[in-house]
Chain A
Amino acid sequence: MKFDRRLLTHFEWLLPLLSLAVSTLGVMTVYSATHAPGTEGWSPLAFRQLAWLAGSVAVMLAVLAFDYRRLDRSAYFVYLLVLLAVLAVPILGRIGGGSRRWIRVGPASIQPSEFMKLALVLVLARHFSRTPGARLGLRELVVPLILTALPAAAILAQPDLGTVAVLGVVSVTMLVLGGVQLRWLAAITAPVTVLAPLLWGHLKAYQQRRVLTFLNPDMDPLGAGYHVIQSKIAVGSGLIWGKGFLRGTQNHLNFLPEQHTDFIFSVFAEEWGFVGAIVLMALYFGLVMRGLVVASRARDRFGVLLALGVMAIVFWQVVINVGMTTGSLPVVGIPLPFFSYGGSSLLCLLAGIGLVMNVSMRRFFF
C-alpha cells in the first residue's frame, strides 16, 4: 500500500488524546483501587492494565494503516469470527466471578463478548449503508435483529447481563440512526416493554430471585443494594475536592467485589471529588462529541454509521456505569470505558477509536 501524505496532514489528534487521557486516569485509579495501604510498589493489576494500554495504542495506530472501507467487505467475516469465539467460551472458557467469560490466549485472558460490541457495530454499519436512506420498514429490521439476537443469546447464557444490555442499546441506537422509522421500532419494543413487567409481576419472589441471580451471579438481593449504598457514600464523601489520591477510605473496605472494574468510578470520585468527576465527565463528553463531528463529516454512509456505532458504545457505557455507581440506575456489570480494569475492553475501545480516526482521516479520499 502506498503511503498517502494526506493521512498525516489530516491526522486526527483530538480523539486519541482524549481517550489516552481517560485511559491514563484509569490506570491510576486501578492502581489506587488495588493498592494495599502501607505497601510499596505497583500492584500487578495496575501494571497489567498499563501493558494492555500500550498494546492497545499500538493496535489503534495499526488500524489507521488500511482504508476503513475495506472493512465494509469483511464485516460479516469479522462478525462470524467473533461470534464463534463467543460460542466457544462455554467450551474453552475459564470461570471468573461466577460466570464463564474468558478464553486464554497465550499470556492473556480475553473476553470475546467485549469484541462482540465492535463486531456488531461493524455489521450493522455495513447493513444500513446499503439500505435506502430513511423510512425503513419492518423488512429491513429483520436482519439487524437477528444479528443482534444471536450474540446476545450466547452472552446471556454465560451469563453476562451487562454486555447484553450494551449490545441491546447500541443496536437500537444504530437502528434509529440507520433510518428505521421510529414507529416500527416502537411496534417491536412495545410488546416487550409492556409484557415483561406483567410477566415479572406474576412470578413468585423466589422465582424472581432465581432469574436475577442467574442473569447476574454477582448480585444477591441484599448485597446489590448494599453495594449501591456504599458506592453512593464513596462518591458523595469525596465532596468538592476529594480525599486525595490513595486516600479513599471506602475503597479499602472491600465492600465491593468489583471496585477495580465496574465500581471504579466510585473510587475515582471519592479521591478526586466533584471537580475530578466533572473533569472526567467533560473528557468523555468531548470524546463523544468529537466522534459525532467526525461522523457528520464522514464521506460515506458506512463511515458515518461506523463512527456513530463506536461512539454509541462509549456513550452508553459511560451513562449506565456512572448512573449505576451513583445509584440512579440498577446494578448491571458494565465497565467504565477506557477506565475500568480489563484488557479486552480497553483493546476494543481503542481499536474502535482507531476506526473513527480512520474515518476522519480518509474523509477527503475517494
Chain B
Amino acid sequence: MASRDFHVVPREVPPELQVRVVAGAIAVLVAFALLGTRLWLLQVVHGPEMRSLSENNRIRLVRVPAARGVVYDRHGEILIDNRPAFDVVFVPEDAHDRRRVLRNVAAYLEESESSVHQMLHAPTKRPPYEGIVLRRDLDWRGVVAVETHQLELPGVSVQVGPRRYYPFGPLAGHLLGYVGEVSETELKDAATGYRAGDLVGKASLEKSWDAELRGIPGGQQVEVDALGRRMRVLQEVPDVPGGTLTLTLDRDLQEAAERALGDAAGAIVALDPRNGEILVMVSHPAFDPNVFARGVRPDEWRALVEDRRRPLNNRAVQGQFPPGSTFKIAVATGALEMGAANASTGVSCSGGVQFGNHFFRCWKKGGHGGVNLHRAIVESCDVFFYQVGQRLGVDGIADYARRLGLGVPTGIRLEHEKTGTIPDTQWKRRRFHQPWFAGETLSVAIGQGYVTATPLQMAQMTAVIANGGTRYRPHYVKRIEAPDGTLREEVQPEILGEAHLKKSTLEQVRAGMRDVVMTEAGTGKKARVPGIEVAGKTGTAQAVKLGEDRSGTNRGPNAARDHAWFIAFAPYENPEIAISCIVEHAGEHGGTVAAPIVQQVLAHYFGRNQGPSLPTTQEASLDANTTAMPAAKPRASEPEAALAQADELDHAGAERRLEPPAASPRASDGGSGGIGAAQGAAEPRPSSARAPR
C-alpha cells in the first residue's frame, strides 16, 4: 500500500464516460466559438451602425392605447363613446435648447411660459425619452399651429389617441362612472396589468367592468431622427379594442326621471321586478363625466369633492336614508307571516300611543280611529304599526326586512355599495353593548330609529313584493360583445333568494299598496297614471340626529328637513317596473314630493306622458292640505325631538320618537287629500316650500 504511486490510483470511472467528457469539451469549444463570432459580427462588423442608432435613442417604443369598449343602452343608444383627441407631447431629450422650445410652444398654445415649465417638472418620475403631455385635447387651431412649426419645436409632437366621450353629459353619470390616468397604487397591483399612463376606469361601470372594456394596447417600434420626429415604423402590434357593453338602462326613461327629479338632491331607481334589470338609476346632484375624460383640473376636482351636496356620491347605492313609512311594507309583511296581525286585526288610533313615560305620535294628530291593516297601509297609520311592531318584535321585523333585501348587500356590481342598517337585538348588543329597549321597536316599526336603507334596496324590496317573493340580483349590463359583434356573454338574471311569503300575505300587502295610489284616502294618489293600476307606498323620513342643531348650519340650510320617499310598482297585475324615489331634505311629504316624480317616470314608461288627470278641484285641495302641514320651521326650537339620521347612528334610539306632549306633529307620512286639515294649519312655513311640485 505504502509503495503505491499517487498517480496510479485505481479509478472506478468507466472509459465511456471519459469519451463523453471529451465530446462535451468539444461542444463547449464550438459553443464559445459561436458566441465569439456573434460578438464580432455585432460589435465589429455592424458596430458603427449600432453606435449611430444608440445615439439619441433612435429606436423607441410607443404604446398605442386600445380603444375602450363602447357602451349602449338597452335600445342601442350610445351612452359612452370614444372620440379622437390631440395631445401635445414633449420629449425634453430631443431638444437642445429646452427653454427656447418651451417659449415657442407656450406661444403657440397661447399659454404662459411658466405654466408650461411647471408641467415639465411634474412630481412623477419620468424615464428618459418618455414624452410629457403639455396639453391634452388640443383644438384644431392649436394642432395646425404646432404641426406647421415643427422645425422650431424639436421634441414636440401632436399625438392622436382615443378619448372617452359621454354624449349625454351628466345623464346617468353616477352609474357610468368615469376614467382617469392609472394611479401609483393601481400600478403596484401586478394583477391588473396596468402600465404607467394608461387610462383606466375610476368609478362605477367604468371601474367595475374595466377588464371587459379595457382591451389590449398595441405598440410600435419607431425609428426617430435627431429632432425626435418619426422616420419609420419598424414593427407594429395592433391594439385589440375592448368589449362592447349593452346595458339594461333605458336612456329615454332615465332622461325622464332626471328631469322629474330636477334640481332636487335625491335618487331614483327603477328596475324590472321580473329579472332585476335596472332601467333607471338617478342620483342628484350629478356631475359630468366628460370633465374627467379630458383630465380633471385640480380646482375642478376640489370643487367636486368639497361640494356639500356631494355630487360624486352615488346616492342610489351609497346613500343610506331612514326609509320612514315605506318600511311599513316590510313590517306588514312580517306581521302577516308571523301572525302578529291578520286582515281583521283592529287598532284604535287616537293620534298616538303612550309607551312607558313617552308618547309616540301618529302623523295624523286627530288619529285615524279604528284601523285595520289595509287602512293602516293606505293611510299610513303610525299607531297601527306601533302596536303590530311591538307584537312582532324587532327580531321579527328584522327577519322579514332582510328577506325583502334590506340590511344586506343587493349584490349589484358597483363599488362601495352600502347595505343600510336593519337593527335587531344582536346588532344592538354588538354595536353598542346594550340590550334592546322595547321602546326602540316602535321607532323601527315606522322605519325610523336605527333603520336605514339605500334607494336601490328600496326598489329591490318593492320588486320582491311585486314579483311574489323572488329577490333578483340588480344588474345593469345585459350583454358583452367583442368589438366585431360576436357575443361574449349574455348576463342571465340571478336569483339571490326567495322570501317564502304566503299568498295571502302578498295579496294583502299588495292590495294595501294599490289603494295607497288608487283610492281617495290613499297617501300616494299623486302617482296615478291614467289607465294603469299603480301600487305604491309613501314615506316621510326625519333626517336630523338627536340633539343636533336643527337649524342645520353645519350641513346646509336644509339639513333638518325631512326626506320624501315613494316606492311603487306597476301594473298591479303583472308588474313590469318597480321604482323607488327619494327627495333629500324635501321638507315635504313623500306623497306630495316623491309621488309626482314617480308618476312622471311611470307615465313615461307606459307611454302616456300627459300628466295626472286628477280633477283640478282635488288638486287644489291637496295643495291646500299640504301647505297646511307643518314643516321644518316650527321644530327648529326643539332639538331633542329630532329623530333619525342619514348616515351615522347615535345610541339614543330609545328616546327617539318621544316628544314633549305639546310638540308639533311628527311627520311620518305623506299628507294627502282630505286629511290633516286640523294639523296646525296656522303654523307658518317657508314660502319656498309652498310651491306644489
Contacts and interface: CB of A to CB of B under 8 A. Distances in A.
A315 B43 contact: no
Given A98-B190, A253-B57, A289-B28, A179 B39 contact: no
B380 to A, nearest CB: 58
A223 interface: yes
B221 A222 contact: yes
Contacts of B14: 133-134, 179, 301
A296 B28 CA distance: 15
Contacts of B22: 296
Contacts of B24: 173, 177, 292, 308
A285 B42 CA distance: 20
B43 A240 contact: yes
Contact of B190 (A95, A225, A274, A284): A95
B35 A237 contact: no
Contacts of B235: 222, 225
B6 interface: yes
B128 interface: yes
B54 A308 contact: no
Contact of A299 (B9, B25, B221, B237): B9
B36 A281 contact: yes
A236 B28 contact: no
B44 interface: yes
B662 interface: no
Of the candidates B10, B11, B39, B59, the one having the most CB atoms from chain A within 10 angstroms of its own CB is B39
A177 B24 CA distance: 8
A350 to B, nearest CB: 20
Given A222-B235, A278-B36, A236 B59 contact: no
Interface in A81-117: 95, 98
Contact of A237 (B12, B47, B129): B47
B16 interface: yes
Interface stretch (A45-53, A137-145, A227-235): A227-235
Interface in A258-288: 269-270, 273-274, 277-278, 281, 284-285, 288
B51 A274 contact: no
Interface in B1-54: 6, 9-14, 16-18, 20-22, 24-25, 28-29, 31-32, 35-36, 38-40, 42-44, 46-51, 53-54
Given A98-B190, A296-B18, A304-B21, A239 B47 contact: yes
A289 B190 CA distance: 43
B366 interface: no
Secondary structure call for the B interface: helix
A190 interface: no
Contact of A253 (B29, B50, B128, B234): B128
B240 interface: yes
B17 A133 contact: yes
B219 interface: yes
Contacts of A236: 42-43, 46-47, 49-51, 54
Of the candidates B6, B32, B49, the one having the most CB atoms from chain A within 10 angstroms of its own CB is B32
B61 A249 contact: no
Given A253-B129, A281-B39, A230 B25 contact: no
Nearest to B19: A134
Interface residues of B, number: 51
Contacts of A232: 42, 50
A286 B14 CA distance: 25
Interface in B573-601: none
Given A274-B40, A296-B21, A233 B28 contact: no
Contacts of A203: none
Given A253-B128, A254-B127, A281 B32 contact: yes
A79 to B, nearest CB: 22
Contacts of A300: 11-13
B238 to A, nearest CB: 10
B162 interface: no
B6 A364 contact: yes
A207 interface: no
A133 B16 CA distance: 7
B16 A179 contact: yes
B169 interface: no
Given A253-B128, A277-B43, A233 B12 contact: no
Interface in A307-366: 308, 315, 318-319, 322-323, 326-328, 363-364, 366
Given A236-B46, A250-B54, A176 B20 contact: yes
Nearest to B31: A319
Contacts of B142: none
Contacts of B190: 95, 98, 217
A221 interface: yes
A305 to B, nearest CB: 8
A274 B18 CA distance: 35
B32 A285 contact: yes
A120 interface: no
Contact of A226 (B21, B127, B128, B221): B221
5 contacts: A134-B17, A226-B59, A229-B221, A229-B234, A326-B42
Interface of B: 6, 9-14, 16-18, 20-22, 24-25, 28-29, 31-32, 35-36, 38-40, 42-44, 46-51, 53-55, 57, 59, 61, 127-129, 190, 218-221, 234-235, 237, 240
Given A133-B14, A177-B21, A240-B44, 6 more contacts: A221-B237, A239-B48, A240-B47, A304-B17, A319-B31, A366-B10
Interface of A: 95, 98, 133-134, 173, 176-177, 179, 206, 217, 221-223, 225-226, 229-230, 232-240, 249-250, 252-255, 269-270, 273-274, 277-278, 281, 284-285, 288-289, 292, 295-296, 298-301, 304, 308, 315, 318-319, 322-323, 326-328, 363-364, 366
The 3 closest A-B pairs by CB, nearest first: A236-B50, A133-B14, A237-B54
